[in-house]
Amino acid sequence: MKKPTCITPIRTLNYICKKEDPLERISKKDKARKIAEILDDLYPNSPIPLQHQDPYTLLIAVLLSAQCTDARVNKISPILFERADNVYDMAKVPIEEIKEIIRPCGLAPAKSKAIFNLSNILVDKYGGKVPKTFEELESLPGVGHKTASVVMSQAFGLPAFPVDTHIHRLAYRWGLSNGKSVVQTEKDLKRLYPESSWNKLHLQIIYFGREYCPARNHDFQACPICGKYGRKSLLK
């Protein structure tokens, strides 16, 4: 499939898109299914973007990725894991030292404190293991619903649909959710797609967003999904 270059301002292409009249009458369920088919075609494999060796190192990597790119996390996490690649060793690394190592990822004071504290909680309360429930994960310092969802999905293969900004924005642009909140988007996507597809789909949409969606200037017509299934109101 030819990949679009998103360089044409929206206004220029609106006219073309309106004339082309993207499938208006398709049901939301059918649209969701067709979008999933396109994503399958584009991303038959969707590897986990954050380097890790086990649930613990994934949890730390996801925590580091808040407001930071995966590429940068993948550069910094090996340095941290060289110092301590398991919960027992990490629980002994002073916060200041963690902070210095992870500084390039941003939010270093909060993240280093969370890494130190959660490691100690895992040692004291969970026998050094990462828990497998949302409730327990979300009770850990620095772990919100999205981080917990990524760990549930990518570390344990349990059904979860982590919604990041890409997924939230695209679900709205594709008319699969009303864009009200990430909580609503997660609910809507879970309703539209079978549980067995959640883990794969969330990665595919992230890959799609990163590859195709510029911050501005969307070439709706050339886009393999918006061109056919984009929300009508965005094309007016």
Question: CA torsion sign, 65 to 69 to 74 to 79?
Answer: negative
CB of 162 or CB of 175, closer to ligand SF4: 175
Rounded to a whole number of angstroms, the minimum distance from the CB of residue 27 to ligand SF4 is 20
CB of 145 or CB of 166, closer to ligand SF4: 166
For the question of residue 75 being annotated catalytic, the response is no
Number of residues near ligand SF4 (by CB under 6 A): 10
- 17 lies in the site for ligand SF4, by CB under 6 A: no
Q: What is the DSSP string of the chain?
A: -PPP---S-HHHHHHHHHHH----S--HHHHHHHHHHHHHHH-S----SS--SSHHHHHHHHHHTTTS-HHHHHHHHHHHHHH--SHHHHTTS-HHHHHHHHGGGS-HHHHHHHHHHHHHHHHHHHTT----SHHHHHTSTT--HHHHHHIIIIIT--------HHHHHHHHHTTSS--S-HHHHHHHHHHHS-GGGHHHHHHHHHHHHHHH--SS---TTTSTTHHHH--HHHH-
User: Of the listed 85, 164, 187, 190, which one is catalytic?
Assistant: 164
> Mask: binding to ligand SF4, 136-175, rule CB under 6 A, as x and -?
-------------------------------------x--
Q: Can you tell me which of 60, 98, 226, 235 binds ligand SF4, judged by CB under 6 A? A: 226
- 225 lies in the site for ligand SF4, by CB under 6 A: yes
Rounded to a whole number of angstroms, the minimum distance from the CB of residue 141 to ligand SF4 is 35
Angle between helices 198-212 and 28-42 (to 10 degrees): 70
User: Of the listed 31, 111, 146, 228, which one is catalytic?
Assistant: 146
- 36 lies in the site for ligand SF4, by CB under 6 A: no
Among the listed ranges 35-43, 77-85, 199-207, 211-219, the one in contact with ligand SF4 (CB under 6 A) is: 211-219
Q: Are 132 and 122 in contact (CB under 8 A)?
A: no
- 6 lies in the site for ligand SF4, by CB under 6 A: yes
CB of 154 or CB of 204, closer to ligand SF4: 204
For the question of residue 164 being annotated catalytic, the response is yes
Active site residues: 146, 164
* Interface contacts to ligand SF4, rule CB under 6 A: 6, 173, 212-213, 218, 220, 223, 225-226, 230
